[in-house]
């Protein structure tokens, strides 16, 4: 956990990042009754299942062995699904113009691609896409866009990953004679839009059982319903190109997995099943754009051979950032076109464009994060329960990234705002216990528009003149809301373990907990009172450490501590201050190190405590 310090050197203020200790939160052991009910489970595995709220055999079986045929719900359980499907097939039959209105992030872009690919497969020829520009159009629909779509002859608007908060805009669309189907998953507004159909798991009295789908997951349920109905009414079991409905549906799951992981929804229930199968599809994807994006990212060679198995980490750190970069740095259309690319040449050009945008995004983010940190310290905000940053001319597409970084470093709710053309837009990130979107809902008078989730939000203020009042009000809300919160950075540890218990059998069992993500983090273990046998700096400039440790036997285990050799960032200076014979505790995850065809278990250190009490 980074604590930000600035000091003057030769008259200049210099940023000095340091790390502070984290509080280790050890999960309590499961009750004996649970262990008695599941005697076949190893103690470590039972602990992980209990920590994830899995109590019954049915829940455990679904979690450890997700089944596509039995674990996905009937899409027609959605209250308005029948209406949505009927509207769409009527439009296809009568050649009415259908416009898919997506969002500019990876979830919205993938959701739009999933729906558009399905419409084309069903024979819709009069279709178009509209993805908003972050800074020109803002999030969701706006009245200007609605009029633009009407002028273009649109008969039906299908939103994905947006729309539930656009009551005024959808009312306008309806008055202009257009039909609107909303597919969304964001927080509920006070007033619902008068759409012809709303596919949203959180709508009051909605009977659909899974409430945590991403935008791409909701869009996929609409696609499932369309395919199911088409199969029922079709005179032949196959599409004209010979592909079955089931095959086409499953080949869309790579996009569903990307949207789900990118939007950081809980990887439980239906989302877990879709991501599990989506990763299988991603590892042999037929999507030309994704293939080229993987090559551009260095994950696949020119012969199409992958260098490693793709997982949620691949999506979160390699694929999703490149898709997001299009909307952050220019326009999301480039990402959508990539996913819809029909030729290798087009896919190659777009993939390289997105990779370049991602590099530019990384550089800009680093510059603005440094400025944001300086602003926080200069204004002496460190002791406040919420942080505010305002940058003139800061790109709207970068604000959320800056907020995420600051939230992690200071471990406090953070609002980062940009002033552009006399308009203030902002992005917020929060810590567990302080619900950002519910807080904004209590003060709607400040916003032109707002939306989001408990841990993340976006908004635009009605005018720059109300900024100080907005900050004062949010500070009051955060002071009250965070009064009982422990804002010390924490590591949540699944269990204590003896290093001698870590073997390939345990690793294989841990792999059954994948895919990892929200509400199912990679299992974190703690080992106490280890003896350091060796300390070796590795990597560029020795910024990482390979620690050789011994626990309760003569066996010496190898660990890797990424970043712990960087003396500037770690004031403890582990590279110097750790030596053979030292006693330490470590928090770590269990992974695999692969090189030259060899594989070995690798303990990845998350935190170190030196000279712990006995």
The string of pLDDT tens digits covering residues 164-203 is 999 999 999 999 999 999 999 998 888 999 999 999 999 9
CA 243 centroid distance within chain: 32
Q: Distances from the Cα of 544 to the Cαs of 228, 408, 506, 609, 610, in angstroms?
A: 52, 21, 26, 17, 17
CATH class (in words) of the domain with range 2-65+490-610: mainly beta
The predicted pLDDT at position 20 comes to: 55
Which tokens go with 245?
Answer: 């409905």
∠ CA(258), CA(260), CA(273), 5° rounding?
100
Q: Tell me the three state secondary structure of residue 11.
A: coil
The string of pLDDT tens digits covering residues 71-103 is 999 999 999 999 999 999 999 999 999 999 999
CATH class (in words) of the domain with range 379-481: alpha beta
Is 62 within 8 Å of 210 (Cβ atoms)?
A: no
Give 535's strand partners. 547
Which tokens go with 365?
Answer: 């983010």
% the chain with pLDDT above 70: 96
The string of pLDDT tens digits covering residues 184-194 is 999 888 899 99
In the chain, domain spans? 2-65+490-610, 70-282, 379-481
DSSP-assigned states of every residue in 326-394:
HHHHS-THHHHHHHH--SHHHHHHHHHHHHHHHHHHHHHHHHHHHHHHHHHHHTT-TTSSSEEEEEET-
The string of pLDDT tens digits covering residues 312-346 is 999 999 999 999 999 888 899 999 999 999 999 99
pLDDT (average), residues 253-277: 96
The string of pLDDT tens digits covering residues 489-515 is 889 999 999 999 999 999 999 999 999
Instruction: Select the CATH number that applies to the domain covering 70-282 from these four: 2.40.50.70, 3.90.1640.30, 3.40.50.150, 3.40.50.970.
Output: 3.90.1640.30
Which tokens go with 162?
Answer: 């947006």
Decide if pLDDT at 11 tops 50. no
Is 542 within 8 Å of 565 (Cβ atoms)?
A: yes
Decide if pLDDT at 570 tops 70. no
């Amino acid at each position: 956990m980074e604590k930000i310090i600035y000091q003057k050197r030769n008259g200049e203020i210099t940023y000095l990042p340091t790390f502070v200790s984290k509080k280790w939160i050890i999960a309590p052991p499961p009750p004996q009754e649970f262990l008695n009910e599941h005697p076949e489970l190893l103690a470590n595995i039972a602990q992980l299942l209990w920590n994830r709220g899995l109590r019954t055999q049915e829940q455990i079986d679904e979690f450890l062995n997700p089944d596509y045929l039995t674990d996905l719900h009937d899409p027609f359980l959605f209250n308005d699904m029948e209406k949505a499907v009927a509207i769409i097939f009527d439009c296809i039959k009568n050649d009415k113009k259908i416009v898919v209105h997506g969002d500019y992030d990876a979830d919205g872009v993938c959701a739009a691609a999933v729906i558009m690919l399905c419409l084309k497969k069903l024979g819709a020829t009069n279709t178009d896409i509209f993805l908003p520009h972050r800074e020109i159009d803002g999030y969701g629909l706006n009245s200007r866009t609605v009029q633009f779509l009407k002028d273009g002859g649109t008969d039906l608007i299908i939103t994905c990953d947006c729309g539930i908060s656009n009551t005024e805009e959808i009312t306008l669309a309806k008055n202009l004679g257009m039909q609107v189907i909303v597919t969304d998953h964001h927080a509920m507004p006070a007033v619902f839009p008068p759409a012809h159909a709303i596919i949203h798991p959180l709508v009051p009295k909605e009977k659909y059982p899974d409430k945590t789908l991403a935008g791409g997951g909701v869009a996929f349920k609409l696609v499932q319903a369309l395919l199911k109905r088409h199969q029922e009414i079709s005179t032949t079991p196959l599409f004209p190109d010979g592909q079955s409905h089931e095959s086409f549906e499953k080949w869309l799951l790579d996009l569903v997995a990307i949207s789900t992981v990118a939007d950081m929804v809980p990887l439980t229930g239906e989302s877990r099943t879709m991501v599990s199968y989506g990763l299988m599809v991603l590892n042999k994807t037929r999507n030309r754009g994704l293939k080229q994006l993987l090559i551009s990212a260095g994950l696949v060679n020119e012969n199409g051979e992958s260098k490693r198995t793709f997982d949620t980490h691949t999506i979160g750190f390699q694929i999703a950032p490149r898709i997001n970069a299009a909307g952050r740095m220019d326009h999301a259309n480039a990402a959508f076109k990539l996913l819809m690319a029909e030729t290798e040449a087009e896919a190659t050009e777009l993939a390289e464009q997105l990779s370049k945008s991602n590099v530019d995004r990384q550089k800009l983010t680093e510059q603005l994060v440094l400025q944001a940190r300086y602003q926080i310290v200069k204004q002496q905000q460190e002791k406040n329960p919420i942080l505010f940053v305002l940058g003139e001319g800061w790109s709207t597409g970068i604000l959320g990234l800056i907020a995420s970084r600051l939230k992690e470093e200071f471990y406090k709710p953070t609002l980062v705002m940009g002033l552009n053309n006399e308009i203030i837009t902002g992005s917020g990130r929060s810590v567990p216990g302080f619900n950002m979107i519910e807080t904004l809902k209590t003060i709607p008078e400040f916003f032109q528009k707002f939306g989001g989730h408990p841990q993340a939000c976006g908004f635009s203020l009605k005018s720059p003149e109300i900024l100080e009042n907005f900050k004062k009000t949010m500070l009051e809300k955060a002071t009250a809301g965070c009064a009982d919160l422990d804002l010390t950075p924490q590591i949540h540890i699944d269990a204590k373990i003896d290093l001698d218990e870590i073997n390939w059998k345990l690793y294989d069992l841990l792999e059954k907990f994948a895919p990892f993500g929200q509400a199912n983090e990679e299992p974190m273990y703690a080992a106490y009172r280890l003896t350091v046998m060796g300390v070796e700096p590795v990597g560029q400039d020795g910024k990482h450490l390979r620690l050789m440790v011994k626990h309760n036997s003569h066996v010496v285990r190898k660990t890797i501590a990424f970043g712990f050799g960087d003396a500037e960032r770690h004031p403890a200076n582990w590279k110097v201050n750790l030596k053979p014979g030292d006693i330490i505790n470590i928090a770590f995850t269990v992974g695999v190190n692969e090189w030259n065809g060899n594989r070995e278990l690798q303990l990845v250190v998350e935190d170190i405590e030196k000279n712990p009490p006995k």
